[in-house]
Amino acid sequence: MNVLAAAALALFSMPGLGGGDEEGIEVPAATEMWKATVVDSTLTETPLDEFSMEGFTHIQGKLGAGEISIRFADIARVDFEPTEKSRSLALVQLKDGSVKKLSVDGRAALYGKTGFGSYKVLLKDVKRVVFSGGPVTRASPTPKAAAPVKQP
């Protein structure tokens, strides 16, 4: 085997670089499905289906001295700015036009699906999220049992 072929085989055998059955990104199955576009720190825009934050359909963080959870249904968009340590500032623009400043965990992940693969990004690497559709309720994974038929 020549050196080039051996190098290519070694490269594609490494996890995450192709070949084999490595585990991919598993997008959590939230109860509601949302569409959103994520703009990351490299200014790459990625439209996503089945968008969630850690598998949930709300953003959670500190509002002043308290904790708050804001449902995606109430949000138009969120702009993020990294702050100290592992935190990010989330400027949450609500659909009513008001803006709330939250301190969020920059290590939390956003998930979604594209037409070409599953997607995951940490909040510390996100500039903006713009909601474009939803909610659509996810179909139950198991069909409901039919009621028993009464015999005459």
pLDDT of residue 74: 97
> What is the identity of the amino acid at 9?
L
What the block records as the tokens of 106 is: 């920059």
pLDDT of residue 139: 78
- Residue 131 structural domain: 42-137
Strands, sheet with 75-82, edge to edge from the N-terminal-most edge strand = 66-71, 58-63, 99-105, 87-94, 75-82, 126-137, 32-40, 45-53, 109-114, 117-122
Residue 56 lies in a domain: yes
Residue 30 lies in a domain: no
Mean pLDDT by 10-residue block, N- to C-terminus, for the chain (152 residues)? 45 43 77 94 96 94 96 97 91 97 96 95 96 84 54 56
The counts of H helices and E strands in the chain are: 1, 10
pLDDT of residue 136: 86
pLDDT of residue 127: 97
Residue 18 lies in a domain: no
Residue 111 lies in a domain: yes
Residue 66 lies in a domain: yes
Residue 50 lies in a domain: yes
Residue 9 lies in a domain: no
| DSSP label at residue 116 | T
Residue 75 lies in a domain: yes
pLDDT of residue 18: 45
Q: How many domains does the chain have?
A: 1
pLDDT of residue 141: 59
